[in-house]
Amino acid sequence: MEVALREHIRQRARFRCEYCLLPEAATPFTPFHVEHIIAKQHLIDDSIDNLALACDRCNAFKGPNLSSVDPVTLEIVNLFSPRRDVWDNHYLFQGSVVIGTTPKGRATVQLLQMNAARRLELRESWLASGGQF
């Protein structure tokens, strides 16, 4: 990937994961990934509108998935898309915990394991150092 394109994507994302909002600065030794929102196996689309900045954990757990199960309704729903959806419409923070407020938000939180212990530690450390989400 071209350096200029990667930098554009990082700036557009305000240097944070577009799924869980963890800032790159919170994990200085673990680089973030530019990932395909709709994986290439589903749609060969390298356009900037199909690319998002993701922390290593969100990228790994999302994989090629496009949908998951809402743990409340047990319905299959589309995952959150950083290009089509507004983060605040699907999530909120309670301290360092990401709460899904819609079926899409809940399914994405669960599939991406946004509140796994290590991720909570990273967010708590970020907040304790004066960082904000």
Q: pLDDT tens digits, the chain, 133 residues: what are they?
A: 699 999 999 999 999 999 999 999 999 899 999 999 999 999 888 899 999 999 999 999 999 999 999 999 999 999 999 999 999 999 999 999 999 999 999 999 999 999 999 999 999 999 999 988 8
What local confidence, expressed as pLDDT, does residue 95 receive?
A: 93
- SS3 readout for the chain: CCHHHHHHHHHHCCCECCCCCCEHHHCCCCCCEEEECCCCCCCCCCCHHHEEEECHHHHHHHCCCCEEECCCCCCEEECCCCCCCCHHHCEEEECCEEEECCHHHHHHHHHCCCCCHHHHHHHHHHHHCCCCC
What local confidence, expressed as pLDDT, does residue 44 receive?
A: 87
pTM of the model as a whole: 0.94
